[in-house]
Amino acid sequence: MSRNRASRPSRYSRSARLGELLREIMASELARLDDDRLELASITGVETSVELSQATVYISVLDGEAASSALDALEEHRVQLKQAVARTASIRKVPDLSFALDPSISAGERVDQILRDLADEAE
């Protein structure tokens, strides 16, 4: 006997599933945008609020100096990105989008620098 999908417990929270869906849609739409400021940018993750009304889109930019211009470009394309989500996702209300640099990138670089410093001291 098959179980109703609604009765099956999901592995991930609703906000995590929506965040992953938004990440996929945004990454796809980012590739379509014709903006030089976004050339070296990639979507690394999306974090949604529990009530699903807000979403923070985290980006990584290969050129650290271009990070602020990439964030500005995303702000300018916010409406287009929300429209892409509305077209693609089957959700009642598209969350408000905000953009931020992925903090894990700088944290990883900091850890890498500490490890290099410790290796230099050991020599």
Tens place of pLDDT for every residue, the chain, 123 residues?
444 555 555 566 888 889 999 999 999 999 999 999 998 899 999 999 888 899 999 999 887 788 889 999 999 999 999 999 999 988 889 999 999 998 887 788 888 889 988 888 887
* Distance set, CA 76 to CA 67, 80, 82, 91, 98 (Å): 14, 9, 12, 23, 11
Calculate ∠ Cα 103-41-50, nearest 5°.
50
Residue 97 CB neighbour total at 10 angstroms:
20
Residue with tokens 């959700």, as numbered in its chain: 91
pLDDT at 5 (0 to 100) = 52
Strand partners, 60: 42
Cα 3 to Cα 87: distance, rounded to the nearest angstrom: 30
CATH code, 5-122:
3.30.300.20
Those residues whose C-beta lies under 8 Å from the C-beta of residue 27, and which sit 6 or more positions away, are 42, 43
Q: Residue 47's pLDDT is what?
A: 92
